[in-house]
Structure 1
Amino acid sequence: MAFFPDSLQTLENSLGYASAKNHSISDNIANVDTPGYKAKDVEFKNVLQNELKSSLEAKRTHSQHIPFNHFNTDQSYRTVTRRNTMYNHNGNNVDVDKEMAELADNQIYYQALVDRINGKFSSLKTAIGGGN
């Protein structure tokens, strides 16, 4: 039995995603007037699929079958550059209104993750203290 359940690892990965997204949004906002700057996004890549692969236990009927836990689920996001749009005459494609809306959304997401982690640790503290 693992001391910390897989849900804490998932929450940690989600915090990493939210932090990377916040960093890319702040870079975009900081470069709103930089000529030629291309905005960056952080996106999930097959997160649900990877999580399902890592948590499913499949029965292997042949020794050469690949087990589900063989797949790499360390990083569930990546940073990409938006190249197909241009909003300003100087080649910059940062839409400050869009970035501010994404920043607010990401802050709510991050805070929800922190609250969930705090709840997990509070449950552990209660269990260790014997319910007191």
Structure 2
Amino acid sequence: MPISFDSALGIHQQALALRAQRTELLASNIANADTPGYKARDIDFRSTLNNLEQQSTATLKTTNSRHIRNNTAMTGVETLYRVPNQSSLDGNTVDEQLEKSAFSENAIRYQASLTFLEGKFRGMMAALKGE
């Protein structure tokens, strides 16, 4: 019986990809903290992940194993502009402390997702070895 990684890993592989994309956005915000007119961007992780989960149930039917499967992992990801708590004179909306805090939290959650997936893979390997 073949193992389907999509069913074994569920939404977790999409969550990991979304966390990686959010990391890039937050790093960009931090890097542009002193750029006049720069608008801080972010992703609403929870609603985007819910949308991705709903999209993943709508898969294309393939009649041959060599057909290309649809990958809805990162379609429809909406990038939002952060509304600043305090406006700046140069039009930059980056709150460096907020961005660093969000970046750290996202990094911790990314690592937790990796640890979870590692456990899933170890379990599958144990099942394959008959342990």
TM-score in same-fold range (> 0.5): yes
- Asked if 1:119 is matched to 2:122, the reply is no
Between the aligned partners of 2:94 and 2:2, the Cα distance in structure 1 is: 45
Contact persistence 1:28–1:94 (CA under 8 A) = yes
Q: TM-score, normalised by structure 1?
A: 0.73
Between the aligned partners of 2:42 and 2:56, the Cα distance in structure 1 is: 26
SS at match of 2:78: strand
Q: 1:16 to 1:5 in 2, by over 3 A?
A: closer
**Percent sequence identity over aligned pairs:** 33
Q: CA RMSD in A?
A: 2.6
Between the aligned partners of 2:24 and 2:89, the Cα distance in structure 1 is: 25
CA distances 1:31-87 after superposition (whole Å, capped 9, x unpaired) = 0000000001112445336536756xxxxxxxxxxxxx37x95336322223x4363
Q: 1:47 to 1:80 in 2, by over 3 A?
A: same
Gaps of 5+ in 1: 56-68
- Asked if 1:35 is matched to 2:36, the reply is yes
Aligned length: 117
**Residue range with higher mean Cα deviation, 10-19 or 40-49:** 40-49
2:73 is aligned with what amino acid? D
1:88 is aligned with what amino acid? S
Equivalence map 1:19-98=2 (5 Å):
19-44=20-45, 45=47, 47-48=49-50, 51=53, 69=58, 74-75=73-74, 77-82=77-82, 84-85=83-84, 87-98=87-98
**Residue range with higher mean Cα deviation, 92-101 or 4-13:** 4-13
1:31 is aligned with what amino acid? N
Gaps of 5+ in 2: 60-70
Q: TM-score, normalised by structure 2?
A: 0.74
CA distances 1:86-120 after superposition (whole Å, capped 9, x unpaired) = 63211101000100110111011101100011001
